[in-house]
Structure 1
């Protein structure tokens, strides 16, 4: 197994696209025109019929890349260690951001939440239960993607023993699982059933990433990977055709195929640019950027004493997002990962130190 440096470039690209898409909504919310977006839409996005796919491209790219990378991790970790490492990876930063947004909202500072929130709303968001319970406003709406990710993590953890012995079996189970769930989860009339449908709809994208990873690892034949991938893609199309709400974006299925091909190509990229220290450093901060960019966008006009988003506020928001994401990575995400790895290896470190201690005592005796 080797580090797939090219995927760092895709993660950065996906972050930029998601930030750009939410910036469009931010300008529109303030009643402002964004000439950069108007020009890009008229010259590129509109003629290519990509205008509605901008944000969807970023999210789907994250899903495919995550499905691939998680497969690499699952191939060498036990189920318990796999889940623990994923929890340490996503939860500390998530909780810090949600707590900050909750405090700012309670203080009356606009951060993209326009309803009154209480302690119950905070706990609902910290557990992501707000997406299943009505009456609990979301503190950071992009976190819906984590619900899909966690569902995928649970499936992968449950099938790790099968993945190592019969690599073809988990993809087959994934196809069967999504097909059955799509048949029984047709109702979207409540908050909970709608979120369940969202999870089922987007899981095939992560499973496509898993198939790419299994083929890259050499444990699944490319023909089998393509066959399973076609099945997952057809399930995605089926989910789209049988729902008026999710994802409800024309051309979504075709876009996922293009993203999968792009991931396959980028996974093989090497060279100084894609493997450089700066590229990897920026890519490591994309999760923090994803979580904080919306709150930073909406709080920026308040900090600049303006009522709407402006070009100046936009550039300040870019700088603010970069600074906040860097601080979150340096002070929360990276330290949490290091602490857990030290705790995880505590027994191994003790075993390595024991022979040295015995040798030292023997030398002192002599």
Structure 2
């Protein structure tokens, strides 16, 4: 979840120069939900109980009838936030410039974490729900290009990167429709609903890895597009009634795809989870209180892409090694701390230098 966590909050809204602090807070909530989901999943996979997982089930999952372990909530938030941010920045960038910036900023951290996961798997360690066998150089290259999910059998590597495929597809669609988005902003979201419907219709029942991944685009692109509609409504480029109506079409598509089956795998409450995530984004996108404005939230938000990509590779090998021997709470905290340290290192020494290099390159190009 790049937003996914790959995008920064927009610096302005409708022209008042107001920073959307609420997006920082939403990223923090999303990162907590994703990490908590995978922390709880480790105990479920190993048929063990953990007090925090039980607390989440009793306090949130059961009352709200969400997916077990809050599955999909964090990912849904990241995808929605990505739709909000990408739509904002598209308003001031040329199509090719927009696409180049998005993809180039996504790649460096993806490449480093994918290589790390590949190395850990070849050392016999688990970095996802299932243990992978030894991987070759071709598997690494496919993971670096996000092509590993099109393989049969699939090679997960950094398993959470499946959401980056959704984001890249959305980037491409936005880049193609930027001219229309500026003149008739309601048209691209409506067009994406039709495209998603066609993708689902053509790939329904086709049992190939390629069809499965293309079908997933039809399922999850509507989630990002709901974020786009929230952005357009917030900036008053699309009226709230029209935005709600088109958003309802995308929500219906997502619900239909979930009922058809074959694409969603996180639980039986996918539509309800998406609804809760959407309401959270609508309520918090313009939040400006002391919590959303705090330095902690701002700094945490900048590191959510690194946290999102590396937390499984940090937590699962450590849990597999230490859980049988030490107190569960202690090991859980150690795993979280190790994930935070790795994410901080990746942010400081990979993400920030890469972002600065891209900015310098863009300045040189614009100066020519």
- TM-score, normalised with respect to structure 2: 0.89
The verdict on how the C-alpha distance between 1:197 and 1:87 changes in structure 2, with shifts beyond 3 A counting, is same
User: Equivalent of 1:79, from 74, 95, 98?
Assistant: 95
Q: Tell me the CA shift for residue 247 of structure 1.
A: 4.8
Q: Distance in 1 between matches of 2:103 and 2:365?
A: 21
Query: Do the aligned partners of 1:53 and 1:249 also contact (CA within 8 Å) in 2?
Result: no
Of the structure 1 ranges 27-36 and 198-207, higher mean CA displacement relative to structure 2 is found in 27-36
Kindly indicate whether residue 188 of structure 2 is the aligned counterpart of residue 170 of structure 1.
Answer: yes
**1:133 corresponds to:** 151
Post-superposition Cα deviations, 1:188-218, rounded to whole Å, max 9, x if no partner, equal: 4122211211121011111111011111222
The verdict on how the C-alpha distance between 1:138 and 1:212 changes in structure 2, with shifts beyond 3 A counting, is same
Of the structure 1 ranges 171-180 and 158-167, higher mean CA displacement relative to structure 2 is found in 171-180
The verdict on how the C-alpha distance between 1:300 and 1:349 changes in structure 2, with shifts beyond 3 A counting, is same
Partner secondary structure for residue 274 of structure 1: helix
User: Equivalent of 1:227, from 245, 248, 252?
Assistant: 245
User: Equivalent of 1:41, from 32, 45, 57?
Assistant: 57
Kindly indicate whether residue 332 of structure 2 is the aligned counterpart of residue 314 of structure 1.
Answer: yes
Equivalences for residues 263-342 of structure 1 within 5 A = 263-301=281-319, 304=322, 310-342=328-360
Q: Distance in 1 between matches of 2:326 and 2:246?
A: 48
**1:214 corresponds to:** 232
**2:110 corresponds to:** 94
User: Equivalent of 1:54, from 70, 74, 78?
Assistant: 70
RMSD between superposed Cα atoms in Å: 2.2
Post-superposition Cα deviations, 1:64-85, rounded to whole Å, max 9, x if no partner, equal: 1111111011111111111111
Q: Tell me the CA shift for residue 57 of structure 1.
A: 1.0
Unaligned runs of 5+ in 2: 1-12
Query: Do the aligned partners of 1:64 and 1:260 also contact (CA within 8 Å) in 2?
Result: yes
Partner secondary structure for residue 46 of structure 1: helix
**1:246 corresponds to:** 264
Which protein is bigger by CA-based radius of gyration?
1
**1:30 corresponds to:** 46
Q: Tell me the CA shift for residue 166 of structure 1.
A: 1.9
- TM-score, normalised with respect to structure 1: 0.89
The verdict on how the C-alpha distance between 1:53 and 1:182 changes in structure 2, with shifts beyond 3 A counting, is farther
Partner secondary structure for residue 264 of structure 1: helix
**2:9 corresponds to:** none
Q: Distance in 1 between matches of 2:145 and 2:165?
A: 10
**2:8 corresponds to:** none
Kindly indicate whether residue 157 of structure 2 is the aligned counterpart of residue 143 of structure 1.
Answer: no
